[in-house]
């Protein structure tokens, strides 16, 4: 079973367990949308809906403490826009079981989308006639400043991985064992812009040095060759020379391995990136993640080529509009052309 199939199976199992705790119409809804939603997205939507139903169970007078598994579509038809707004107001800041929760507008927007999707589905099936979410004023999404590494910062970051610069004595002990692996991972991120989930899924058999490329499974499930530089190829070959020291479990074909010989996890890579950021770039350590390395690649490639379509294809974006965020925030490029027409 491939890593992608294992991930899908993992989230499908979690989704099924969650649906066992929810109304029957939710299972019907997710079965009806399984051709449109990945297992990861379906689980995310289901989690949001479960929180919403639990809120109704605890706080809405009409539902009066009923078991959420007994909720029906007719019950949903009774909810008003004001009921949804009360839920969103509660979600912003509330305390449950002694734990205080604070949620951003971006998080609230995810809940709005999950609830609205459920209503829209059953309106199309003519089981409902009104979507109470439609009347909610949604705040405009603010453009975030792109966090990226400048050239000197990239050098410091990679030096930390290659030479252990800035690491503590205890970290240096682990660095001696993992230097080739960690350096290859960070180089691959900055050289290709792939997602952390895509990198984790790479197998040794996916490497094609004749093409100077690696085959990855994109977010939507499509397979694509991503090309890397000669420098990164040399770094990958150096890692492959020592990969056997991780003692791969059974027939484990994963490219990047943990100390137990199993596929390195997304969480492990996130922690590793944070470790090198804290030693090399303490002023930015809270902001540097695998996704910020992807942002660095995107802006660098856009500056070098000026070809937003090429950048979009390299990043695996389904929509070109998603890539424009890197063009809109490239302040350095705008400064370079300020006197161009004089």
Q: Which two tokens stand for residue 203?
A: 């197998």
Residue 43 to residue 49: CA distance in whole angstroms: 10
Q: For residue 313, what is the enclosing H or E element?
A: helix 308-315
Q: What is the DSSP letter of 143?
A: P
Task: Identify any residues that bridge with 227 across adjacent strands, giving them in sequence order.
Answer: 213
Q: Which two tokens stand for residue 242?
A: 């020592």
Residue 81 to residue 131: CA distance in whole angstroms: 8
Q: Which two tokens stand for residue 118?
A: 């459920």
Residue 162 to residue 152: CA distance in whole angstroms: 15
Write out the DSSP string of 72-116: -HHHHHT--HHHHHHHHHHHHEEEETTEEEE--HHHHHHHHHHHH
User: For the chain, first and last CA: distance in Å?
Assistant: 61
- The catalytic residues are 195, 219, 291, 294, 317, 326
């Amino acid at each position: 079973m491939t890593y992608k199939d294992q991930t899908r199976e993992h989230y499908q199992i979690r989704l099924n367990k969650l649906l066992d705790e929810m109304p029957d119409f939710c299972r019907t809804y997710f079965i009806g949308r399984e051709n449109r939603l990945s297992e990861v997205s379906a689980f995310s939507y289901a989690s949001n809906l479960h929180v919403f139903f639990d809120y109704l169970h605890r706080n809405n007078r009409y539902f009066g403490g009923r078991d959420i598994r007994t909720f029906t579509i007719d019950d949903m038809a009774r909810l008003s826009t004001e009921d949804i707004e009360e839920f969103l107001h509660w979600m912003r800041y509330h305390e449950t079981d002694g734990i205080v929760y604070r949620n951003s507008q971006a998080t609230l927007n995810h809940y709005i989308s999950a609830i609205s999707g459920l209503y829209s589905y059953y309106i199309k099936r003519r089981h409902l006639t009104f979507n109470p979410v439609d009347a909610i004023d949604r705040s405009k999404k603010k453009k975030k400043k792109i966090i990226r590494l400048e050239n000197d910062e990239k050098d410091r970051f990679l030096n930390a991985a290659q030479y252990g610069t800035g690491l503590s004595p205890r970290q240096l002990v682990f660095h001696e064992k993992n230097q080739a692996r960690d350096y290859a991972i960070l180089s691959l991120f900055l050289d290709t812009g792939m997602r952390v989930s895509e990198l984790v899924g790479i197998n040794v058999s996916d490497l094609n040095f004749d093409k100077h490329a690696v085959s990855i499974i994109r977010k939507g499930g499509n397979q694509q060759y991503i090309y890397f530089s000669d420098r990164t190829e040399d770094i990958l070959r150096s890692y492959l020379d020592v990969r056997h020291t991780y003692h791969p479990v059974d027939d484990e074909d994963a490219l990047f391995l943990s100390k137990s010989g199993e596929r390195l996890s997304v969480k492990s890579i996130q922690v590793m990136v944070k470790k090198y950021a804290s030693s090399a770039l303490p002023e930015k350590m809270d902001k540097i993640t695998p996704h910020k390395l992807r942002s660095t690649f995107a802006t660098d490639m856009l500056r070098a080529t000026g070809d937003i379509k090429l950048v979009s294809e390299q990043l695996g974006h389904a929509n070109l509009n998603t890539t424009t965020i890197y063009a809109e925030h490239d302040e350095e490029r705008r400064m370079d052309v300020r006197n161009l027409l004089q």
